[in-house]
Amino acid sequence: MAFKSKIKWVALFVLTLSLGSLTVHLSLTKFSSMSLVQYSAKEALSHDFPYIGSPVGRNKRLWGAVRSLESLQPYANPRNLYPVPGKTSNGFIYAKIFGGFEKIRSSICDLVTISRLLNATLVIPEIQESTRSKGISYKFKSFSYLYDEEQFIASLKNDVNIIKSLPEHFKSARRRSEFPTFKPKSSASPNYYVKEILPSLKKAKVIGLIIMDGGCLQPILPPILSEFQRLRCRVAFHTLQFRPEIQILGLRMVERLRAWGQPFLAYHPGLVRDTLAYHGCAELFQDVHTELIQYRREQMIKQGIVNDELSVESHIRRENGSCPLMPEEVGLLLRAMGYPSNTIIYVAGSQTFGGQRLLIPLRAMFANVVDRTSLCSKTELSDLVGPETPLPPDVFKMPNPKSEEQLKEEWNRAGPRPRPLPPPPDRPVYQHEKEGWYAWITENDKEPNPSPMDLRMQAHRLLWDALDYIVSVEADAFFPGFHSDGSRWPDFSGLVIGQRLYERASSRTYRPDRKKITELFNIIRDDMYHPKRNWILSAREHLNRSLSEEGLIRQSLLSKPTSFLSHPIPECSCRISSVEITKPIKGKDGRILFGGEPECPKWMQSARAEKARTDETEPAEDENDEPEQLEPDVISSLTSLIDHDEEWDPND
């Protein structure tokens, strides 16, 4: 009995101790729960950069300025006789602009230039992607959804007369379509406007322009019209300011990236469906993405945009440099340059065709890959959009089951007896196969019209591209995945490269030759993650050359004939006087490709000398030219992620 009594006392003691321990743990949980925070990419960066807020020296080989381009300075002011527009003009020009962010920005610059050329009053253009019919917030008009109207009008008062809307007595006539309307191409010459459009403008006093090609004036103008090229620069790089909410959030994103005390690199993949279809790069993708690209290419052929066959060898196009560099290839190039695995990489672009799965290799090589969703909260992004009218959600609907009569009718139509075994049952239809924007490809041969939610999302992409544009221009280095593609449209990377060249020509802006890069990757295609040292040095040499004069000359040859804003020199720049005088380099057509800039005014030279003295005091890291190899765990994890390719949702 005494033994049993002792056991009871021991059990009671253990039970009391357990209850006390549980009470203590619950109390600690209650008082410490307020300090718990959700995981985010911003907090995760602190593990790689413990010295937050304290600037560290930069590796000049990776982040330093390009010395040979430091003498180039932005200078878009008028240099010749440039009269202020008078109160009277030849008439009014109103315009409708179609297309995405890149086409809108380039088209507005051309519109202002044409208005100056024709001595016309420009009505604030209508951006069709952000009209009220697209479901945007009632707070904005089409232009003010993206840009600051007041700033646009005020900053161009010495160049062009701009009004917000047509006078009242012209509005009713416009609704009745009484005014002539033109659809100029992006290759329209100044003579076309002077001889064809100016007489109609003087006669009707109002004309309309419909711009769909991303521009309405040829990119390269004769030297006698250099003042119009500088007007383009003033519009693109000074006048076209995003509305204050976009500016504030974009600069806040840059501050958050710099808060870790480390430089960051911006990367734009350039994987856009229209561009991929134009160049025939469908076979570089898988599954439904190939079909979607081919469908879009077929539509372009019918519209006369593409004068080529539907089915082409994508790998041959890739070797010609017509297809984009994949994120995996960009990651390997950055590692060959010597960028460490903790480099902060900002991925720009409102959408990446192919989904996030294409970024898996890049994220495996660089741990700190972020985008706008990593740097901004959902509240910040929703505040940028503004209050919107709720739209009915796109509800997933299963296919209707067949009735007994339909099944009997199919059986009777099955053919003569004896009949074969009945077909196997249809495979189940998964919800994700019907919910995405790509679901139509499994059932129809024609792409359906965009839903109200799709139209609203297209308007939102303008805002996301604007944020990415601000970050990309301010980045310490920029790497384009696809630029100077030879199409007739302006591209996002080209606009970023052009503004970086205008504002800070010496900033590290890579301009890789995709054809040369493809030749390099063909050498190591069987073992891309263990390149030899001579391959790394060859890749590094090519990328370094793309930063300097060689890259600028190639950019001028390939990109400027398509978009002047992608290469605004020498028209919009000047050169600080130096011991080394750069001789102008001309192309076969006599056009200056590099050099030939005038000497900067004295006030710019003194400011530049002061900045040079400041830069000399900045600390620098030890430069290490040894190429960095990929870690074995990175290679194994990367391989497993790529091999695991079952039931991927193309929306991911």
Q: Are residues 366 and 508 in the same domain?
A: yes
* 419 within domain boundaries: no
Domain boundary residue, one of 543, 568, 593: 568
DSSP string, 538-575: HHHHHHHHHHSHHHHHHHHHHTTTT-GGG--TTTTEEE
* pLDDT of 419 over the 70 cut: no
Q: Are residues 518 and 375 in the same domain?
A: yes
Which of the four pLDDT bands, split at 50, 70 and 90, describes residue 644? very low
> What is the three-class DSSP state of 268?
strand
Q: Helix (H) and strand (E) counts for the chain? A: 26, 15
266 beta partners: 346, 478
* pLDDT of 52 over the 90 cut: no
Of 133-137, 383-387, 393-397, the least confident = 393-397
Alpha carbon 40 to its chain centroid, in Å, reads 23
Residues 6+ apart with CB under 8 A from 563: 106, 214, 215, 219, 490, 491, 494, 495, 498
pLDDT tens digits, 582-639: 677 777 667 777 777 888 888 776 666 565 555 555 544 444 444 445 454 444 444 4
Interatomic CA distance for residues 414 and 425, integer angstroms: 16
Q: What pLDDT sits at residue 640? A: 46
Would you tell me how many other CB atoms lie within 10 Å of the CB of residue 22?
A: 10
**What is the arithmetic mean of pLDDT over 164-175?**
90
The runs of H, that is alpha helices, within 97-197 are: 101-118, 149-155, 168-175, 190-192
Q: Are residues 117 and 223 in the same domain?
A: yes
Residue range(s) defining the domain that contains residue 129:
92-239
> What is the three-class DSSP state of 217?
coil
Q: Are residues 177 and 217 in the same domain?
A: yes
Query: CA dist 274 to 278, 280, 312, 488, Å?
Result: 6, 10, 16, 12
Interatomic CA distance for residues 610 and 262, integer angstroms: 25
Of 45-54, 264-273, 618-627, the least confident = 618-627
Q: Are residues 537 and 591 in the same domain?
A: no
| Pairing assessment for the beta strands 585-586 and 592-594 based on DSSP bridges | antiparallel
Q: Are residues 118 and 253 in the same domain?
A: no
Interatomic CA distance for residues 87 and 237, integer angstroms: 26
Of 84-88, 343-347, 422-426, the least confident = 422-426
* 129 within domain boundaries: yes
* pLDDT of 74 over the 50 cut: yes
Interatomic CA distance for residues 644 and 564, integer angstroms: 44
* pLDDT of 403 over the 60 cut: yes
Of 143-147, 221-225, 402-406, the least confident = 402-406
Q: Are residues 328 and 375 in the same domain?
A: yes
Q: What pLDDT sits at residue 596? A: 78
**Amino acid found at 293:** I
Token duo for residue 337: 């340059």
* pLDDT of 287 over the 70 cut: yes
Residue that wins the pLDDT comparison between 613 and 115: 115
Residue that wins the pLDDT comparison between 480 and 649: 480
Which of the four pLDDT bands, split at 50, 70 and 90, describes residue 291? confident
| Pairing assessment for the beta strands 72-74 and 573-575 based on DSSP bridges | antiparallel
Q: What pLDDT sits at residue 648? A: 39
Which of the four pLDDT bands, split at 50, 70 and 90, describes residue 463? very high
Q: What pLDDT sits at residue 642? A: 39
Query: CA dist 186 to 225, 270, 341, 546, 560, Å?
Result: 17, 21, 42, 28, 13
Count of the separate structural domains present in the chain? 3
Of 370-379, 551-560, 580-589, the least confident = 580-589
Token duo for residue 98: 């179609």
Interatomic CA distance for residues 375 and 251, integer angstroms: 11
594 beta partners: 585
Place of tokens 């076979």: 283
Interatomic CA distance for residues 420 and 34, integer angstroms: 69
Query: CA dist 138 to 143, 293, 392, Å?
Result: 13, 35, 18
Q: What pLDDT sits at residue 480? A: 95
Q: What pLDDT sits at residue 3? A: 54
93 beta partners: 122, 207
Of 131-140, 269-278, 516-525, the least confident = 131-140
Closest CA to 356 of 651, 53, 9: 651
* 120 within domain boundaries: yes
* pLDDT of 562 over the 60 cut: yes
Report yes or no: 246 and 329 within 8 Å, Cβ to Cβ: no
Of 9-23, 153-167, 306-320, the least confident = 9-23
Q: Are residues 486 and 340 in the same domain?
A: yes
* 366 within domain boundaries: yes
Q: Are residues 371 and 482 in the same domain?
A: yes
Instruction: Please state at what angle helix 327-337 crosses helix 514-523, rounded to 10 degrees.
Output: 80
**What is the arithmetic mean of pLDDT over 276-288?**
85
* pLDDT of 434 over the 60 cut: no
* 515 within domain boundaries: yes
* 435 within domain boundaries: no
**What is the arithmetic mean of pLDDT over 16-37?**
63
In degrees and rounded to multiples of 5, residue 422 shows phi and psi of: -60, 150
Which of the four pLDDT bands, split at 50, 70 and 90, describes residue 183? very high
* pLDDT of 288 over the 60 cut: yes
Q: Are residues 260 and 353 in the same domain?
A: yes
Q: Are residues 197 and 259 in the same domain?
A: no
Domain boundary residue, one of 191, 222, 239: 239
Considering the chain, what percentage of its residues have pLDDT values greater than 70?
80
Q: What pLDDT sits at residue 368? A: 94
Q: Label residues 191-211 b or e (16+ Cβ within 10 Å = b).
A: ebbeeebbebbeebbbbbbeb
**What is the arithmetic mean of pLDDT over 536-544?**
94
pLDDT tens digits, 214-265: 899 999 999 899 999 999 999 999 999 999 999 999 999 999 999 988 999 9
Report yes or no: 477 and 496 within 8 Å, Cβ to Cβ: no
Tell me the pTM. Answer: 0.84
Interatomic CA distance for residues 346 and 334, integer angstroms: 13
* 554 within domain boundaries: yes
Interatomic CA distance for residues 183 and 301, integer angstroms: 20
The runs of H, that is alpha helices, within 304-415 are: 314-319, 327-337, 360-365, 372-375, 378-385, 404-412
Which of the four pLDDT bands, split at 50, 70 and 90, describes residue 651? very low
Mean pLDDT, the chain, as a whole number?
82
* pLDDT of 142 over the 60 cut: yes
Q: Label residues 455-493 b or e (16+ Cβ within 10 Å = b).
A: bbbbbbbbbbbbbbbbbbbbbbbbbbbbbbbebbbbbbb
**Strand ranges, E, within 193-338:** 206-211, 264-268
Which of the four pLDDT bands, split at 50, 70 and 90, describes residue 16? confident
* 318 within domain boundaries: no
Interatomic CA distance for residues 484 and 513, integer angstroms: 9
pLDDT tens digits, 81-95: 888 888 888 999 999
Would you tell me how many other CB atoms lie within 10 Å of the CB of residue 181?
A: 14
Q: Are residues 134 and 195 in the same domain?
A: yes
